[in-house]
Structure 1
Amino acid sequence: MPQFFLNKRLIILLVSMIILVALIGFSLRERKQLTWPEQFMKDTTGFVQSLVSRPANYVAGFFENLNDLQDTYHENKELKKRVDQIARLEAEVQLLEKENKRLNEILDKEETLRDYESTQATVIARNPDRWHEQVIINKGKTDGITKNMAVITAKGLIGKVKTVNQFTSTVQLLSANDPKNRISAAILGGDVEISGLLMGYDEKKELLLVKQIPADAKVSKDQSVVTSGMGGVFPLGLPIGKVVEVVPDEYGLTQTAYVKPGADFYDIKHVIVIERVIAQPQSSDMADDKGEEL
Protein backbone atom coordinates (compact mmCIF):
# COMPACT_ATOMS: atom_id res chain seq x y z
CA MET A 1 0.00 0.00 0.00
CA PRO A 2 2.72 2.56 0.84
CA GLN A 3 4.55 1.57 -2.37
CA PHE A 4 1.43 2.43 -4.37
CA PHE A 5 1.23 5.92 -2.89
CA LEU A 6 4.91 6.49 -3.58
CA ASN A 7 4.45 5.54 -7.22
CA LYS A 8 1.38 7.75 -7.44
CA ARG A 9 3.29 10.76 -6.11
CA LEU A 10 6.09 10.12 -8.55
CA ILE A 11 3.66 9.94 -11.44
CA ILE A 12 1.98 13.21 -10.34
CA LEU A 13 5.39 14.90 -10.07
CA LEU A 14 6.40 13.77 -13.55
CA VAL A 15 3.08 14.85 -15.06
CA SER A 16 3.41 18.27 -13.32
CA MET A 17 6.89 18.74 -14.72
CA ILE A 18 5.70 17.83 -18.21
CA ILE A 19 2.82 20.32 -17.94
CA LEU A 20 5.20 23.02 -16.64
CA VAL A 21 7.65 22.50 -19.50
CA ALA A 22 4.76 22.57 -21.97
CA LEU A 23 3.48 25.86 -20.50
CA ILE A 24 6.96 27.37 -20.64
CA GLY A 25 7.37 26.35 -24.25
CA PHE A 26 3.91 27.69 -25.07
CA SER A 27 4.68 31.04 -23.45
CA LEU A 28 8.05 31.38 -25.19
CA ARG A 29 6.85 30.80 -28.73
CA GLU A 30 6.08 33.77 -30.94
CA ARG A 31 2.46 34.82 -30.82
CA LYS A 32 0.55 37.62 -32.41
CA GLN A 33 -1.79 37.99 -29.46
CA LEU A 34 -1.57 37.22 -25.75
CA THR A 35 -4.08 34.99 -24.01
CA TRP A 36 -6.70 36.68 -21.86
CA PRO A 37 -5.11 35.54 -18.54
CA GLU A 38 -1.80 36.98 -19.68
CA GLN A 39 -3.46 40.20 -20.80
CA PHE A 40 -5.28 40.43 -17.49
CA MET A 41 -2.10 39.91 -15.45
CA LYS A 42 -0.14 42.35 -17.59
CA ASP A 43 -2.81 45.07 -17.40
CA THR A 44 -3.24 44.56 -13.67
CA THR A 45 0.50 44.74 -13.06
CA GLY A 46 0.83 47.86 -15.18
CA PHE A 47 -2.04 49.56 -13.38
CA VAL A 48 -0.56 48.76 -9.97
CA GLN A 49 2.86 49.95 -11.09
CA SER A 50 1.41 53.25 -12.31
CA LEU A 51 -0.39 53.73 -8.99
CA VAL A 52 2.84 53.14 -7.08
CA SER A 53 5.23 54.95 -9.42
CA ARG A 54 3.37 58.26 -9.56
CA PRO A 55 3.52 58.99 -5.81
CA ALA A 56 7.06 57.63 -5.65
CA ASN A 57 8.21 59.87 -8.51
CA TYR A 58 6.43 62.82 -6.95
CA VAL A 59 8.15 62.28 -3.59
CA ALA A 60 11.54 61.72 -5.25
CA GLY A 61 11.06 64.83 -7.40
CA PHE A 62 10.07 66.86 -4.33
CA PHE A 63 13.27 65.98 -2.47
CA GLU A 64 15.31 66.51 -5.63
CA ASN A 65 13.80 69.97 -6.02
CA LEU A 66 14.64 70.70 -2.39
CA ASN A 67 18.26 69.74 -3.03
CA ASP A 68 18.35 71.88 -6.19
CA LEU A 69 16.83 74.79 -4.25
CA GLN A 70 19.45 74.41 -1.53
CA ASP A 71 22.25 74.29 -4.09
CA THR A 72 20.81 77.37 -5.81
CA TYR A 73 20.69 79.17 -2.47
CA HIS A 74 24.36 78.45 -1.76
CA GLU A 75 25.39 79.37 -5.32
CA ASN A 76 23.41 82.61 -5.12
CA LYS A 77 25.06 83.42 -1.80
CA GLU A 78 28.51 82.81 -3.27
CA LEU A 79 27.70 84.88 -6.37
CA LYS A 80 26.54 87.77 -4.17
CA LYS A 81 29.88 87.69 -2.40
CA ARG A 82 31.69 87.79 -5.74
CA VAL A 83 29.48 90.64 -6.97
CA ASP A 84 30.34 92.58 -3.84
CA GLN A 85 34.02 91.90 -4.43
CA ILE A 86 33.73 92.99 -8.07
CA ALA A 87 32.00 96.20 -7.02
CA ARG A 88 34.75 96.87 -4.49
CA LEU A 89 37.47 96.16 -7.07
CA GLU A 90 35.78 98.43 -9.62
CA ALA A 91 35.72 101.22 -7.07
CA GLU A 92 39.40 100.66 -6.30
CA VAL A 93 40.26 100.64 -10.01
CA GLN A 94 38.42 103.91 -10.54
CA LEU A 95 40.24 105.50 -7.62
CA LEU A 96 43.58 104.21 -8.88
CA GLU A 97 42.85 105.48 -12.40
CA LYS A 98 42.03 108.93 -11.04
CA GLU A 99 45.12 108.92 -8.85
CA ASN A 100 47.27 107.75 -11.76
CA LYS A 101 45.84 110.46 -13.98
CA ARG A 102 46.60 113.14 -11.36
CA LEU A 103 50.16 111.85 -10.95
CA ASN A 104 50.67 111.84 -14.71
CA GLU A 105 49.43 115.43 -14.89
CA ILE A 106 51.81 116.42 -12.11
CA LEU A 107 54.73 114.69 -13.84
CA ASP A 108 53.57 115.92 -17.27
CA LYS A 109 53.60 112.30 -18.40
CA GLU A 110 51.31 111.64 -21.33
CA GLU A 111 52.30 108.26 -22.75
CA THR A 112 53.15 104.91 -21.13
CA LEU A 113 54.11 101.46 -22.33
CA ARG A 114 50.63 100.29 -21.37
CA ASP A 115 48.81 102.53 -23.84
CA TYR A 116 47.48 100.82 -26.94
CA GLU A 117 44.64 100.89 -29.45
CA SER A 118 42.69 97.78 -30.39
CA THR A 119 41.00 96.50 -33.54
CA GLN A 120 38.42 93.69 -33.46
CA ALA A 121 38.89 90.93 -36.03
CA THR A 122 37.45 87.54 -36.94
CA VAL A 123 39.33 84.41 -37.96
CA ILE A 124 38.22 83.57 -41.51
CA ALA A 125 40.61 80.74 -42.45
CA ARG A 126 42.91 78.18 -40.91
CA ASN A 127 45.03 75.61 -42.71
CA PRO A 128 44.51 72.12 -41.19
CA ASP A 129 48.13 71.25 -41.98
CA ARG A 130 49.32 74.30 -40.05
CA TRP A 131 46.57 74.43 -37.44
CA HIS A 132 48.93 75.23 -34.55
CA GLU A 133 51.02 77.71 -36.52
CA GLN A 134 48.83 80.44 -38.01
CA VAL A 135 45.36 81.84 -38.64
CA ILE A 136 44.02 84.36 -41.16
CA ILE A 137 41.89 87.30 -39.98
CA ASN A 138 39.58 89.65 -41.86
CA LYS A 139 41.53 92.86 -41.21
CA GLY A 140 44.45 94.22 -43.24
CA LYS A 141 46.24 97.37 -44.38
CA THR A 142 42.98 99.25 -44.95
CA ASP A 143 42.20 98.77 -41.24
CA GLY A 144 45.60 100.02 -40.10
CA ILE A 145 47.08 96.58 -39.41
CA THR A 146 50.86 96.35 -39.69
CA LYS A 147 53.42 93.60 -39.29
CA ASN A 148 54.38 92.40 -35.77
CA MET A 149 51.28 93.81 -34.05
CA ALA A 150 50.23 91.75 -31.03
CA VAL A 151 47.09 89.63 -31.33
CA ILE A 152 45.10 88.55 -28.28
CA THR A 153 41.80 86.95 -27.31
CA ALA A 154 39.71 87.68 -24.25
CA LYS A 155 41.92 85.24 -22.29
CA GLY A 156 45.39 86.28 -23.39
CA LEU A 157 48.07 86.67 -26.04
CA ILE A 158 47.96 84.23 -28.97
CA GLY A 159 50.61 85.61 -31.34
CA LYS A 160 51.54 88.44 -33.67
CA VAL A 161 50.78 89.62 -37.20
CA LYS A 162 53.23 87.98 -39.61
CA THR A 163 52.08 89.20 -43.03
CA VAL A 164 49.58 91.88 -44.05
CA ASN A 165 47.50 92.09 -47.22
CA GLN A 166 45.05 94.76 -48.25
CA PHE A 167 42.02 93.25 -46.53
CA THR A 168 43.38 90.26 -44.60
CA SER A 169 46.35 89.41 -42.37
CA THR A 170 48.14 86.23 -41.29
CA VAL A 171 48.71 85.77 -37.57
CA GLN A 172 51.58 83.60 -36.36
CA LEU A 173 50.58 81.78 -33.18
CA LEU A 174 52.78 81.38 -30.12
CA SER A 175 52.44 77.62 -30.59
CA ALA A 176 54.28 77.80 -33.93
CA ASN A 177 57.67 76.11 -33.96
CA ASP A 178 59.61 79.19 -35.03
CA PRO A 179 62.89 80.08 -33.25
CA LYS A 180 62.59 83.67 -34.50
CA ASN A 181 59.24 84.11 -32.77
CA ARG A 182 60.53 85.80 -29.60
CA ILE A 183 58.65 88.14 -27.29
CA SER A 184 59.96 90.07 -24.32
CA ALA A 185 58.08 88.85 -21.22
CA ALA A 186 57.90 89.63 -17.51
CA ILE A 187 57.04 87.29 -14.65
CA LEU A 188 55.00 89.03 -11.97
CA GLY A 189 55.09 88.21 -8.28
CA GLY A 190 56.63 89.79 -5.23
CA ASP A 191 58.34 93.16 -5.37
CA VAL A 192 60.46 92.48 -8.45
CA GLU A 193 59.41 91.80 -12.04
CA ILE A 194 61.56 89.05 -13.57
CA SER A 195 62.41 89.47 -17.23
CA GLY A 196 62.70 86.71 -19.80
CA LEU A 197 62.12 85.86 -23.45
CA LEU A 198 59.07 83.96 -24.62
CA MET A 199 60.57 81.70 -27.26
CA GLY A 200 59.41 78.20 -28.05
CA TYR A 201 56.50 75.86 -27.42
CA ASP A 202 56.53 72.33 -26.00
CA GLU A 203 54.02 70.43 -28.15
CA LYS A 204 53.88 67.39 -25.84
CA LYS A 205 53.21 69.39 -22.68
CA GLU A 206 51.31 72.13 -24.59
CA LEU A 207 53.23 74.77 -22.64
CA LEU A 208 55.05 77.94 -23.67
CA LEU A 209 58.74 78.39 -22.87
CA VAL A 210 60.07 81.55 -21.24
CA LYS A 211 63.86 81.39 -21.40
CA GLN A 212 66.87 83.46 -20.30
CA ILE A 213 65.55 83.94 -16.79
CA PRO A 214 68.41 84.83 -14.40
CA ALA A 215 69.68 81.81 -12.47
CA ASP A 216 69.26 83.54 -9.10
CA ALA A 217 65.68 84.71 -9.83
CA LYS A 218 63.05 83.10 -7.62
CA VAL A 219 60.18 81.98 -9.82
CA SER A 220 57.38 79.86 -8.39
CA LYS A 221 54.33 78.05 -9.70
CA ASP A 222 51.19 80.06 -10.66
CA GLN A 223 53.04 83.35 -11.09
CA SER A 224 51.53 85.42 -13.91
CA VAL A 225 53.47 86.06 -17.12
CA VAL A 226 52.77 89.18 -19.21
CA THR A 227 54.44 91.13 -21.99
CA SER A 228 57.12 93.46 -20.62
CA GLY A 229 56.81 96.17 -23.28
CA MET A 230 60.61 96.10 -23.73
CA GLY A 231 60.47 94.38 -27.12
CA GLY A 232 59.67 97.64 -28.83
CA VAL A 233 56.40 96.46 -30.44
CA PHE A 234 54.08 94.97 -27.84
CA PRO A 235 52.61 97.13 -25.06
CA LEU A 236 53.21 96.33 -21.42
CA GLY A 237 50.89 94.01 -19.52
CA LEU A 238 49.27 91.78 -22.14
CA PRO A 239 48.50 88.50 -20.31
CA ILE A 240 50.35 85.42 -21.53
CA GLY A 241 49.72 82.72 -18.93
CA LYS A 242 50.86 81.24 -15.62
CA VAL A 243 54.05 79.44 -14.62
CA VAL A 244 53.73 75.66 -14.26
CA GLU A 245 57.35 74.76 -13.46
CA VAL A 246 60.86 76.16 -13.66
CA VAL A 247 63.98 74.23 -14.68
CA PRO A 248 67.64 75.32 -15.01
CA ASP A 249 69.30 75.23 -18.40
CA GLU A 250 71.98 72.67 -19.18
CA TYR A 251 74.81 74.96 -18.04
CA GLY A 252 73.00 76.36 -14.99
CA LEU A 253 73.47 79.95 -16.10
CA THR A 254 69.79 80.73 -16.70
CA GLN A 255 66.38 79.20 -16.06
CA THR A 256 63.47 78.20 -18.29
CA ALA A 257 59.85 78.54 -17.16
CA TYR A 258 57.11 76.34 -18.57
CA VAL A 259 54.02 78.51 -18.89
CA LYS A 260 50.43 77.40 -19.38
CA PRO A 261 48.91 79.85 -21.91
CA GLY A 262 45.81 81.71 -20.86
CA ALA A 263 44.37 81.58 -24.39
CA ASP A 264 43.17 78.48 -26.20
CA PHE A 265 45.26 78.09 -29.38
CA TYR A 266 43.02 75.35 -30.75
CA ASP A 267 39.67 77.16 -30.77
CA ILE A 268 40.18 80.72 -32.01
CA LYS A 269 37.26 82.59 -33.58
CA HIS A 270 37.47 86.25 -32.56
CA VAL A 271 40.65 88.18 -31.84
CA ILE A 272 41.86 91.68 -30.99
CA VAL A 273 44.80 93.25 -32.81
CA ILE A 274 46.86 95.52 -30.55
CA GLU A 275 48.75 98.63 -31.70
CA ARG A 276 51.08 100.24 -29.20
CA VAL A 277 50.49 103.99 -28.94
CA ILE A 278 53.93 105.06 -27.78
CA ALA A 279 56.55 105.51 -30.49
CA GLN A 280 58.30 102.34 -31.58
CA PRO A 281 62.07 102.09 -32.02
CA GLN A 282 63.66 101.35 -35.37
CA SER A 283 63.88 97.68 -36.34
CA SER A 284 67.65 97.95 -36.73
CA ASP A 285 67.95 99.18 -33.14
CA MET A 286 65.98 96.17 -31.84
CA ALA A 287 67.92 93.54 -33.85
CA ASP A 288 70.46 91.23 -32.25
CA ASP A 289 73.86 90.29 -33.69
CA LYS A 290 72.18 87.89 -36.12
CA GLY A 291 69.82 90.57 -37.38
CA GLU A 292 66.76 88.98 -35.74
CA GLU A 293 64.21 91.23 -34.08
CA LEU A 294 63.45 90.59 -30.41
Structure 2
Amino acid sequence: MRDGRFHKSSIIIVVSLILIGSIIWSMTPGSPVARVGEFLSSILSPLQRLARDVRVGIEDKIKAWHAAQEIESENAELRTRLAELQGELRRLEAKMYLYERLEDAIKIRDELDDYELVHGTVLQRGNTPWFDSLSVSFGHRDGLRTIRELKPIVIDLGMHVVGRLENADYQTSVVMPLTAPGFAMAARINRPNGAVVIVRGNANAEGNGLLLIDSVPENAVLRPGDELVSAGVGQTFPAGLPIGRVSVVESDREPRRAHCEPYTDFDNLENVFVLWPTDPFYITIETTATEGN
Protein backbone atom coordinates (compact mmCIF):
# COMPACT_ATOMS: atom_id res chain seq x y z
CA MET A 1 0.00 0.00 0.00
CA ARG A 2 2.82 2.34 0.85
CA ASP A 3 4.54 1.54 -2.49
CA GLY A 4 1.29 2.32 -4.40
CA ARG A 5 0.93 5.74 -2.76
CA PHE A 6 4.55 6.51 -3.57
CA HIS A 7 3.98 5.51 -7.19
CA LYS A 8 0.94 7.79 -7.57
CA SER A 9 2.72 10.69 -5.93
CA SER A 10 5.67 10.23 -8.23
CA ILE A 11 3.39 10.31 -11.27
CA ILE A 12 1.73 13.54 -10.09
CA ILE A 13 5.11 15.15 -9.43
CA VAL A 14 6.43 14.12 -12.83
CA VAL A 15 3.31 15.37 -14.68
CA SER A 16 3.43 18.65 -12.80
CA LEU A 17 7.10 19.11 -13.66
CA ILE A 18 6.33 18.38 -17.32
CA LEU A 19 3.52 20.94 -17.35
CA ILE A 20 5.64 23.56 -15.63
CA GLY A 21 8.44 22.86 -18.04
CA SER A 22 6.09 23.12 -21.03
CA ILE A 23 4.78 26.45 -19.80
CA ILE A 24 8.27 27.79 -19.29
CA TRP A 25 9.31 26.43 -22.68
CA SER A 26 6.27 28.03 -24.40
CA MET A 27 7.28 31.36 -22.93
CA THR A 28 10.68 31.06 -24.48
CA PRO A 29 10.74 33.09 -27.78
CA GLY A 30 11.15 30.92 -30.83
CA SER A 31 10.26 27.68 -29.10
CA PRO A 32 8.01 25.26 -31.02
CA VAL A 33 5.29 25.54 -28.38
CA ALA A 34 5.33 29.35 -28.66
CA ARG A 35 5.08 29.12 -32.45
CA VAL A 36 2.14 26.72 -32.18
CA GLY A 37 0.40 29.12 -29.73
CA GLU A 38 0.97 32.05 -32.07
CA PHE A 39 -0.42 30.07 -34.98
CA LEU A 40 -3.50 29.05 -33.06
CA SER A 41 -3.94 32.63 -31.80
CA SER A 42 -3.76 33.99 -35.35
CA ILE A 43 -6.56 31.63 -36.31
CA LEU A 44 -8.74 32.05 -33.21
CA SER A 45 -8.46 35.85 -32.81
CA PRO A 46 -10.55 36.71 -35.90
CA LEU A 47 -13.09 34.13 -34.83
CA GLN A 48 -13.21 35.69 -31.37
CA ARG A 49 -13.63 39.17 -32.86
CA LEU A 50 -16.36 37.88 -35.17
CA ALA A 51 -18.14 36.22 -32.26
CA ARG A 52 -17.84 39.43 -30.23
CA ASP A 53 -19.16 41.53 -33.13
CA VAL A 54 -22.07 39.14 -33.65
CA ARG A 55 -22.90 39.26 -29.94
CA VAL A 56 -22.73 43.05 -29.89
CA GLY A 57 -24.85 43.26 -33.05
CA ILE A 58 -27.49 40.96 -31.57
CA GLU A 59 -27.53 42.97 -28.35
CA ASP A 60 -27.89 46.22 -30.34
CA LYS A 61 -30.75 44.76 -32.38
CA ILE A 62 -32.49 43.60 -29.22
CA LYS A 63 -32.08 47.07 -27.71
CA ALA A 64 -33.37 48.67 -30.93
CA TRP A 65 -36.37 46.32 -30.96
CA HIS A 66 -37.21 47.19 -27.36
CA ALA A 67 -36.85 50.91 -28.20
CA ALA A 68 -39.11 50.47 -31.25
CA GLN A 69 -41.69 48.70 -29.08
CA GLU A 70 -41.60 51.56 -26.60
CA ILE A 71 -41.93 54.12 -29.41
CA GLU A 72 -44.82 52.17 -30.95
CA SER A 73 -46.53 52.03 -27.56
CA GLU A 74 -46.03 55.77 -27.13
CA ASN A 75 -47.33 56.38 -30.67
CA ALA A 76 -50.43 54.28 -29.94
CA GLU A 77 -51.04 56.33 -26.79
CA LEU A 78 -50.51 59.56 -28.77
CA ARG A 79 -52.91 58.38 -31.50
CA THR A 80 -55.51 57.54 -28.87
CA ARG A 81 -55.04 60.93 -27.23
CA LEU A 82 -55.18 62.67 -30.62
CA ALA A 83 -58.48 60.90 -31.43
CA GLU A 84 -59.83 61.99 -28.03
CA LEU A 85 -58.75 65.59 -28.65
CA GLN A 86 -60.28 65.56 -32.14
CA GLY A 87 -63.53 64.23 -30.69
CA GLU A 88 -63.47 66.93 -28.03
CA LEU A 89 -62.79 69.55 -30.70
CA ARG A 90 -65.78 68.34 -32.73
CA ARG A 91 -67.96 68.47 -29.62
CA LEU A 92 -66.75 71.99 -28.85
CA GLU A 93 -67.39 73.06 -32.45
CA ALA A 94 -70.91 71.60 -32.24
CA LYS A 95 -71.50 73.43 -28.96
CA MET A 96 -70.19 76.66 -30.49
CA TYR A 97 -72.49 76.22 -33.48
CA LEU A 98 -75.46 75.64 -31.21
CA TYR A 99 -74.44 78.62 -29.08
CA GLU A 100 -74.26 80.86 -32.14
CA ARG A 101 -77.64 79.60 -33.33
CA LEU A 102 -79.08 80.19 -29.86
CA GLU A 103 -77.58 83.67 -29.83
CA ASP A 104 -79.22 84.37 -33.20
CA ALA A 105 -82.53 83.05 -31.90
CA ILE A 106 -82.29 85.26 -28.82
CA LYS A 107 -81.68 88.30 -31.03
CA ILE A 108 -84.75 87.40 -33.10
CA ARG A 109 -86.86 86.93 -29.97
CA ASP A 110 -85.72 90.30 -28.57
CA GLU A 111 -86.75 92.10 -31.75
CA LEU A 112 -90.11 90.35 -32.15
CA ASP A 113 -91.69 90.62 -28.72
CA ASP A 114 -95.25 90.39 -30.10
CA TYR A 115 -94.65 86.93 -31.56
CA GLU A 116 -93.93 83.54 -30.10
CA LEU A 117 -90.94 81.90 -31.75
CA VAL A 118 -91.28 78.19 -32.61
CA HIS A 119 -88.12 76.55 -33.94
CA GLY A 120 -88.02 73.76 -36.50
CA THR A 121 -85.70 72.15 -39.01
CA VAL A 122 -86.30 71.59 -42.70
CA LEU A 123 -87.03 67.92 -43.32
CA GLN A 124 -87.67 67.88 -47.06
CA ARG A 125 -87.45 70.29 -49.97
CA GLY A 126 -87.79 70.24 -53.73
CA ASN A 127 -85.05 70.03 -56.34
CA THR A 128 -85.65 73.28 -58.21
CA PRO A 129 -84.45 76.83 -57.53
CA TRP A 130 -87.91 77.54 -56.12
CA PHE A 131 -89.84 75.09 -53.97
CA ASP A 132 -93.58 74.55 -53.98
CA SER A 133 -93.38 73.49 -50.33
CA LEU A 134 -91.05 72.71 -47.46
CA SER A 135 -91.67 70.08 -44.80
CA VAL A 136 -90.65 71.39 -41.37
CA SER A 137 -90.39 69.71 -37.94
CA PHE A 138 -92.99 71.67 -35.97
CA GLY A 139 -96.73 71.07 -35.67
CA HIS A 140 -99.71 70.80 -33.34
CA ARG A 141 -97.54 69.39 -30.55
CA ASP A 142 -95.72 72.75 -30.56
CA GLY A 143 -98.97 74.68 -30.21
CA LEU A 144 -99.34 75.49 -33.91
CA ARG A 145 -102.55 75.34 -35.87
CA THR A 146 -103.63 76.70 -39.24
CA ILE A 147 -106.87 78.47 -39.97
CA ARG A 148 -107.92 80.50 -42.98
CA GLU A 149 -107.38 83.74 -41.10
CA LEU A 150 -103.97 82.82 -39.73
CA LYS A 151 -101.01 81.73 -41.86
CA PRO A 152 -97.97 82.97 -39.95
CA ILE A 153 -94.67 83.96 -41.49
CA VAL A 154 -91.60 81.71 -41.34
CA ILE A 155 -88.07 83.15 -41.13
CA ASP A 156 -84.51 81.83 -40.99
CA LEU A 157 -81.74 82.56 -38.49
CA GLY A 158 -80.94 85.82 -40.25
CA MET A 159 -84.57 86.96 -39.83
CA HIS A 160 -84.97 86.68 -43.63
CA VAL A 161 -88.42 85.81 -44.91
CA VAL A 162 -88.67 82.13 -45.85
CA GLY A 163 -92.42 81.85 -46.53
CA ARG A 164 -95.64 81.22 -44.66
CA LEU A 165 -97.14 78.32 -42.75
CA GLU A 166 -99.77 76.61 -44.89
CA ASN A 167 -100.93 73.65 -42.81
CA ALA A 168 -99.78 71.53 -39.91
CA ASP A 169 -100.29 68.07 -38.47
CA TYR A 170 -99.16 66.73 -35.12
CA GLN A 171 -95.41 66.59 -35.77
CA THR A 172 -94.73 68.43 -39.05
CA SER A 173 -95.92 71.39 -41.06
CA VAL A 174 -95.97 72.46 -44.68
CA VAL A 175 -94.41 75.84 -45.44
CA MET A 176 -95.02 77.67 -48.73
CA PRO A 177 -91.71 79.41 -49.54
CA LEU A 178 -91.77 82.91 -50.93
CA THR A 179 -90.35 81.55 -54.21
CA ALA A 180 -93.44 79.37 -54.83
CA PRO A 181 -95.74 80.62 -57.63
CA GLY A 182 -98.69 80.94 -55.25
CA PHE A 183 -96.88 83.16 -52.73
CA ALA A 184 -97.53 86.91 -52.46
CA MET A 185 -96.84 89.54 -49.81
CA ALA A 186 -96.62 93.31 -49.45
CA ALA A 187 -93.09 94.67 -49.35
CA ARG A 188 -91.58 98.08 -48.85
CA ILE A 189 -88.49 99.60 -50.47
CA ASN A 190 -86.18 99.95 -47.47
CA ARG A 191 -85.50 103.67 -47.43
CA PRO A 192 -87.31 106.69 -45.99
CA ASN A 193 -90.77 106.96 -47.52
CA GLY A 194 -90.06 103.86 -49.62
CA ALA A 195 -92.98 102.75 -51.79
CA VAL A 196 -95.00 99.61 -51.05
CA VAL A 197 -94.98 96.94 -53.77
CA ILE A 198 -96.11 93.32 -54.09
CA VAL A 199 -93.56 90.50 -54.10
CA ARG A 200 -94.63 87.19 -55.63
CA GLY A 201 -93.17 83.79 -56.26
CA ASN A 202 -92.27 83.75 -59.94
CA ALA A 203 -92.89 80.66 -62.05
CA ASN A 204 -91.42 82.40 -65.13
CA ALA A 205 -88.03 83.38 -63.71
CA GLU A 206 -86.23 81.01 -66.10
CA GLY A 207 -85.05 78.74 -63.30
CA ASN A 208 -83.06 81.38 -61.44
CA GLY A 209 -85.21 81.51 -58.30
CA LEU A 210 -85.94 85.26 -58.53
CA LEU A 211 -89.07 86.86 -57.10
CA LEU A 212 -91.44 88.98 -59.18
CA ILE A 213 -92.12 92.56 -58.07
CA ASP A 214 -95.32 94.16 -59.38
CA SER A 215 -97.97 96.68 -58.36
CA VAL A 216 -95.21 99.30 -58.40
CA PRO A 217 -96.66 102.84 -57.93
CA GLU A 218 -96.13 105.20 -60.87
CA ASN A 219 -94.07 107.68 -58.87
CA ALA A 220 -92.04 105.01 -57.00
CA VAL A 221 -88.25 105.05 -57.38
CA LEU A 222 -87.05 101.46 -57.78
CA ARG A 223 -83.44 100.70 -58.63
CA PRO A 224 -81.26 97.56 -58.81
CA GLY A 225 -79.69 96.99 -55.41
CA ASP A 226 -82.66 98.36 -53.45
CA GLU A 227 -83.52 96.24 -50.43
CA LEU A 228 -87.07 95.02 -49.89
CA VAL A 229 -88.49 94.34 -46.43
CA SER A 230 -91.90 93.19 -45.27
CA ALA A 231 -94.40 96.04 -45.24
CA GLY A 232 -96.32 94.78 -42.20
CA VAL A 233 -99.77 94.92 -43.77
CA GLY A 234 -101.76 93.06 -41.10
CA GLN A 235 -100.00 91.46 -38.15
CA THR A 236 -99.34 88.10 -39.78
CA PHE A 237 -96.23 89.48 -41.46
CA PRO A 238 -94.33 91.86 -39.15
CA ALA A 239 -92.86 94.96 -40.74
CA GLY A 240 -89.17 95.25 -41.50
CA LEU A 241 -88.22 91.62 -42.12
CA PRO A 242 -85.60 91.40 -44.90
CA ILE A 243 -86.81 89.81 -48.13
CA GLY A 244 -84.07 90.41 -50.70
CA ARG A 245 -82.55 92.91 -53.13
CA VAL A 246 -83.81 94.17 -56.46
CA SER A 247 -81.76 92.63 -59.26
CA VAL A 248 -83.52 93.80 -62.43
CA VAL A 249 -85.95 96.66 -63.11
CA GLU A 250 -88.04 96.46 -66.31
CA SER A 251 -88.59 100.18 -66.81
CA ASP A 252 -89.55 99.91 -70.48
CA ARG A 253 -92.86 98.14 -69.95
CA GLU A 254 -96.24 98.83 -68.41
CA PRO A 255 -97.27 97.98 -65.82
CA ARG A 256 -93.87 98.42 -64.21
CA ARG A 257 -92.31 95.38 -62.67
CA ALA A 258 -88.94 94.12 -61.47
CA HIS A 259 -87.22 91.06 -60.06
CA CYS A 260 -85.78 90.45 -56.62
CA GLU A 261 -83.15 87.99 -55.44
CA PRO A 262 -84.24 86.59 -52.03
CA TYR A 263 -81.83 86.58 -49.10
CA THR A 264 -82.83 83.09 -47.96
CA ASP A 265 -80.41 80.38 -49.08
CA PHE A 266 -82.92 77.62 -49.76
CA ASP A 267 -80.25 75.13 -50.85
CA ASN A 268 -78.64 75.21 -47.39
CA LEU A 269 -81.68 76.09 -45.29
CA GLU A 270 -81.84 74.06 -42.05
CA ASN A 271 -83.15 76.08 -39.11
CA VAL A 272 -86.38 78.06 -39.38
CA PHE A 273 -88.78 79.82 -37.01
CA VAL A 274 -92.50 80.35 -37.34
CA LEU A 275 -93.65 83.66 -35.85
CA TRP A 276 -96.82 82.79 -33.99
CA PRO A 277 -98.72 85.95 -32.96
CA THR A 278 -99.37 86.21 -29.24
CA ASP A 279 -102.91 87.51 -29.90
CA PRO A 280 -104.17 85.81 -33.10
CA PHE A 281 -107.81 86.88 -32.54
CA TYR A 282 -107.19 90.34 -34.03
CA ILE A 283 -105.04 89.23 -36.95
CA THR A 284 -106.07 90.08 -40.48
CA ILE A 285 -104.61 87.87 -43.18
CA GLU A 286 -102.23 89.81 -45.34
CA THR A 287 -102.55 87.54 -48.34
CA THR A 288 -106.22 88.46 -48.64
CA ALA A 289 -105.15 92.05 -49.27
CA THR A 290 -102.42 91.11 -51.71
CA GLU A 291 -104.02 88.37 -53.78
CA GLY A 292 -106.55 90.76 -55.23
CA ASN A 293 -103.82 93.00 -56.69
Q: Is the 8 A contact 2:181 2:200 kept in 1?
A: no
Partner of residue 74, structure 1: none
Partner of residue 215, structure 1: 218
Q: Is the 8 A contact 1:235 1:276 kept in 2?
A: no
Partner of residue 163, structure 2: 159
Distance 1:131 1:262, change over 3 A: closer
Distance 1:161 1:293, change over 3 A: farther
Distance 1:249 1:167, change over 3 A: farther
Partner of residue 257, structure 2: 256
Inter-partner Cα distance in structure 1 for 2:141 and 2:248: 42
Gaps of 5+ in 1: 1-96, 98-111
Distance 1:220 1:114, change over 3 A: farther
Q: What amino acid sits opposite 2:184 in the alignment? A: R
Alignment of 1:1-294 (within 5 A): 115-128=114-127, 132-147=131-146, 148-155=151-158, 156-178=160-182, 181-189=183-191, 191-201=192-202, 202-248=205-251, 250-252=253-255, 255-277=256-278, 280-283=282-285, 287=288
Distance 1:127 1:242, change over 3 A: closer
Inter-partner Cα distance in structure 2 for 1:113 and 1:249: 40
Inter-partner Cα distance in structure 1 for 2:206 and 2:163: 16
Cα deviation, residue 149, structure 1 = 1.3
Distance 1:231 1:182, change over 3 A: farther
TM-score, normalising length: structure 2: 0.52
Gaps of 5+ in 2: 1-109
Q: CA RMSD in A?
A: 3.2
Distance 1:266 1:232, change over 3 A: same
TM-score, normalising length: structure 1: 0.52
Cα deviation, residue 230, structure 1 = 0.5
Which secondary structure state, in structure 2, belongs to the residue aligned with residue 266 of structure 1? helix
Cα deviation, residue 154, structure 1 = 2.2
Partner of residue 53, structure 2: none
Inter-partner Cα distance in structure 2 for 1:136 and 1:277: 24
Deviations 1:26-55 (A, max 9, x none): xxxxxxxxxxxxxxxxxxxxxxxxxxxxxx
Deviations 1:105-132 (A, max 9, x none): xxxxxxx998322111111233558972
Cα deviation, residue 221, structure 1 = 2.2
Inter-partner Cα distance in structure 2 for 1:282 and 1:234: 10
Cα deviation, residue 207, structure 1 = 1.3
Deviations 1:156-181 (A, max 9, x none): 11111111111210111112122xx2
Deviations 1:164-217 (A, max 9, x none): 111210111112122xx211111112x212101111322433211121010211
Between the two proteins, what is the percent identity of the paired residues? 27
Distance 1:250 1:267, change over 3 A: same
Give the helix-richer structure, 1 or 2: 2
Q: What amino acid sits opposite 1:137 in the alignment? A: V
Inter-partner Cα distance in structure 1 for 2:190 and 2:260: 13
Inter-partner Cα distance in structure 1 for 2:126 and 2:218: 40
